[in-house]
Structure 1
Amino acid sequence: MQEDTPIDEAAITLLKQLVRNGCVNDLTADSGGEAKSADTLEQFFSGTDVQVRRFEPHPNRVSIAFTIEGTDPEAEPLTLLGHTDVVPVDLPKWTRDPFAAEEEAGRIYGRGATDMLYITAAMAAATRDVARSGDRPKGTLTFVGCADEEARGGLGAGWLASHAGDAFSWKNCLSEEGGSHLPVADGSDALVVVVGEKGAAQRRLTIHGDAGHGSTPYGRELTVDLIAEVARRVCAIEPPVTSDELWEGYVRAFRFDEDTQRALIDGSSYSALGDLARYSHAMSHLTIAPTVMHAGGAINVLPSTAHIELDIRPLPGQTQESIDEMLRDALGDLAERVTIEHLITEDATVSPTEGPLYEAIVETFDEFFPGVPVVPTIAAGGSDLRFARRKGGVGYGFALHERQRTLGGVLDLLHSHDEYVEVADVRLTTLAYRSLIRRFLGV
């Protein structure tokens, strides 16, 4: 790329190449291949005076960090955590090549365009612009292209936090997602910033019944019947709505009438939120989703063991112990017969709605959308920011979208068929990152 390329144009060109690299993470160690995008990013930064570090905990699973050292060791640092892996595609359901990065009618199509390659490209372009400026920031600036985010970071940010925790600062971190708009009832505007995310409480529930030949089931305790009853009882669990300032502040931001607002805060109805109903329910409840059920193998054998796997997402403050207790209560007289096994377990994390980085985000939003209120939210899914929070830092989801891009619309694009990002949002996010860096680091 030419040195005089505007940073938003540079971000668009980089985004297209990252999409074309096709770093598909199918949750196995040998997938991903993020080395391709690490090479792309290293080439993108060529000719700049940045410190480059590559990390490869497994062949071709490469994370890469670009650091510009600050002039003041006491100044606040800033770390931008992008990820370069993407989820698989169901190719027959796409109407275009998911790895061609086609641009059409103001949109760039491709797997990962929204999740989160456009933000990763914006981070890289803004960081390179600082490097090319010739001025050093007061605090140290680092951009990291992380591998393996889609598999919860075991070969990416999670590995870095555990094995290379001093490679860069985790004190102030930005990542996905944020900067979309709420459809406020009175037609006014509100901008979203992500301050936390739910945790993980994955469980496998196993039960045993009678084995035998499939031709003679009479009088036997059928394991499939038992696991179906386990599933029914689990699906009947109705966790209570949370009562915290984040949830209530989110509801109030919509400016509904008093009755609608109360119904939302109480969790008795989500219909007023339209396409945000599912997300809003997840933001305000512990959620339990049965996702895997298994029993047997041969069609002529009555299985003696069956299990169901649950994707459980707790809110901040909800413990693994309380979740097991809730499951046992729901199972009732079957509880003694069911083995509850913990799979991936992680507590929810949240950062404060105050402090230097949060204030810089609010001020940056105000620069682009003057006077628009900022609404902190909790993400229903996970991101690499939880590793920063666990190491004592703060982490916020930050991007910026045009006025017509609502939170529900952006969420619907994540992992979708024919995924795309608006070119205007790539430009806006890139400029917003550059502005925030200038505001926070003085360069």
Structure 2
Amino acid sequence: MTLYDDTLALLRDLVRNACVNEYVPDSGHESRNAATLEEFFDDLPVDIQRFEPHPGRVSIAFTVPGSDPEAEPLTLLGHTDVVPVDEPHWSTDPFGAEIKDGRVYGRGTVDMLFITATMAAVTREVARQASVGNHPRGSLTFVALADEESRGGLGAGWLAEHEPHAFPWKNALSETGGSHLPVADGSDALVVVVGEKGAAQRRLHVTGEPGHGSTPFGRESTLVKLGEVARRLAAIQPEVSSSDIWQDYVRAFRFDPETEKALLDGSDPAAYEAFGPLAAYSHAMSRLTIAQTVAHAGSVINVLPSSGYIELDIRPLPRQTQEDVDEVLRRGLGDLADDVRIEHLISEDATVSPAEGPLYEAIVDTFEEFFPGVPVIPTLSAGGSDLRFARRLGGVGYGFALHARERTLDQVFAELHSHDEALYLEDLDLTVRAYQSLVQRFCGSGSGSAPRRP
């Protein structure tokens, strides 16, 4: 069997194991995918480490030691959990891994089991080479992580806190990248994810006067105040980013000068329509975003509630602090600010890696191999990934995969967590070959070159 065949077979097994993360500790059952991967690496010269912070929530690391302790290590961070499905909306078995019309269908095929399977297959091939004496110069570690879909508390986050030295975090790859931008003039551009926005979840509390619902006159209404808070929050317009990442992203689309200027200076919100299906993502990448997601007040119909709250999913950009977020909220609330108590929920600063250095250059060189002359555009993820833990531990982390020219960034986004999630087999083949090339380029072999530690 070819490396591609091995990867496809493994991908289908991982999908069929149905490691569904329902955002509670007793879900996920990633132990099933860990067992499949242990069997996949059976009888090969790899160091295996197994981590189980909660029963069934297993992360597992496979390391092929390098021959040169001075060579840069590479760590591939895949996750093995998937999000739940609404099965009546699927036209195929979401855990059947059915192949039809050049695609493999199943929950997790795109997010991110195709990359996880690729990482495993390429690492196994390096281990096979090592078994006959052709060791990589730099060590290669593949980690199959649990619990990524619920922010990694029983996966990468737990490892970063409790086992930070179990494997190197210095140079890491994970989801996703290698899709194409729909450039306005029809030319091409490839994206590489260099960072991700942070989290600044907030619960805003207000109070009013309680009483019987039959006598509301003269009482300060919690619900009315909550509604006014919601209105003022909706009117907040955070400033557009001045970062090189945002500016280079906009310029990569080759819009007309007027549209480009409006996007760069934030003068016309309607200009985001030029991005088409990428408008929402592009808007999120350009600024702090504030989404009102939960509102609560009262419990029974005949009682005036004394308190209520609104929950906000806020995503800050790199270099925006939690204090910056609170200041934006207070300014937006104006004279109501003193009447609102701001509670911090999940709060994590954004992380970003430089668009330079040995690993980034290896990514660019690999893209050039498959798509000669196509510019590479760094982007930020609006959501989270396990790469943020590598960056917080002092490493660099990039999203890496490779898609056919027809697969634009919005088309790849559309598959994430969708009904009938499916991966083009052509993209699996490209990703397998791209990972094989990049690992060889970065880790080298017994006779090849590899980046050296500074």
Runs of 4+ residues deviating >3 angstroms: none
The residue that corresponds to 1:259 in the other structure is 258
Pair 1:220-2:231 in alignment: no
Asked whether the 8 Å contact 1:241–1:284 carries over to 2, the reply is yes
| Structural mapping, 1:373-412, within 5 Å | 373-412=375-414
The residue that corresponds to 2:60 in the other structure is 64
| Structural mapping, 1:286-435, within 5 Å | 286-435=288-437
Q: Which amino acid aligns with 1:23?
A: C
Worse overlay, 93-102 or 354-363? 93-102
| Distance (whole Å) between structure 2 residues aligned to residue 90 and residue 338 of structure 1 | 38
Asked whether the 8 Å contact 1:9–1:427 carries over to 2, the reply is no
Pair 1:181-2:172 in alignment: no
| Structural mapping, 1:105-254, within 5 Å | 105-134=101-130, 135-254=134-253
Q: What is the DSSP-based 3-state SS (H/G/I as helix, E as strand, rest coil) of the residue aligned with 1:25?
A: coil
Q: What is the DSSP-based 3-state SS (H/G/I as helix, E as strand, rest coil) of the residue aligned with 1:270?
A: helix
| Distance (whole Å) between structure 2 residues aligned to residue 33 and residue 194 of structure 1 | 29
| Distance (whole Å) between structure 1 residues aligned to residue 175 and residue 169 of structure 2 | 15
The residue that corresponds to 1:93 in the other structure is 89
| Distance (whole Å) between structure 2 residues aligned to residue 102 and residue 192 of structure 1 | 29
Q: Which amino acid aligns with 1:245?
A: D
| Distance (whole Å) between structure 2 residues aligned to residue 345 and residue 118 of structure 1 | 30
Pair 1:12-2:8 in alignment: yes
Q: How many equivalent residue pairs?
A: 439
| Distance (whole Å) between structure 2 residues aligned to residue 17 and residue 299 of structure 1 | 51
Q: Which amino acid aligns with 1:205?
A: L
| Distance (whole Å) between structure 1 residues aligned to residue 430 and residue 168 of structure 2 | 26
| Distance (whole Å) between structure 2 residues aligned to residue 10 and residue 316 of structure 1 | 39
Q: Which amino acid aligns with 2:309?
A: H
Q: What is the DSSP-based 3-state SS (H/G/I as helix, E as strand, rest coil) of the residue aligned with 1:58?
A: coil
What's the % identity of the aligned pairs? 67
TM norm structure 1: 0.97
| Distance (whole Å) between structure 2 residues aligned to residue 212 and residue 40 of structure 1 | 60
Query: Over the residues paired in the alignment, what is the CA RMSD in angstroms?
Result: 1.1
Asked whether the 8 Å contact 1:314–1:347 carries over to 2, the reply is yes
| Distance (whole Å) between structure 2 residues aligned to residue 266 and residue 14 of structure 1 | 47
Q: What is the DSSP-based 3-state SS (H/G/I as helix, E as strand, rest coil) of the residue aligned with 1:237?
A: coil
| Distance (whole Å) between structure 2 residues aligned to residue 129 and residue 385 of structure 1 | 24
The residue that corresponds to 2:448 in the other structure is none
Pair 1:272-2:277 in alignment: no
Following TM superposition, by how much is the alpha carbon of 1:188 offset from its aligned partner in structure 2, in angstroms? 1.4
Asked whether the 8 Å contact 1:85–1:149 carries over to 2, the reply is yes
Q: Which amino acid aligns with 2:126?
A: V
In structure 2, stretches of 5+ residues that fail to align are 446-454
Q: What is the DSSP-based 3-state SS (H/G/I as helix, E as strand, rest coil) of the residue aligned with 1:96?
A: coil
Q: Which amino acid aligns with 2:98?
A: E
| Distance (whole Å) between structure 1 residues aligned to residue 5 and residue 221 of structure 2 | 62
| Distance (whole Å) between structure 2 residues aligned to residue 232 and residue 364 of structure 1 | 48
Following TM superposition, by how much is the alpha carbon of 1:298 offset from its aligned partner in structure 2, in angstroms? 2.3
Q: Which of 22, 29, 51 is 2:25 aligned to?
A: 29
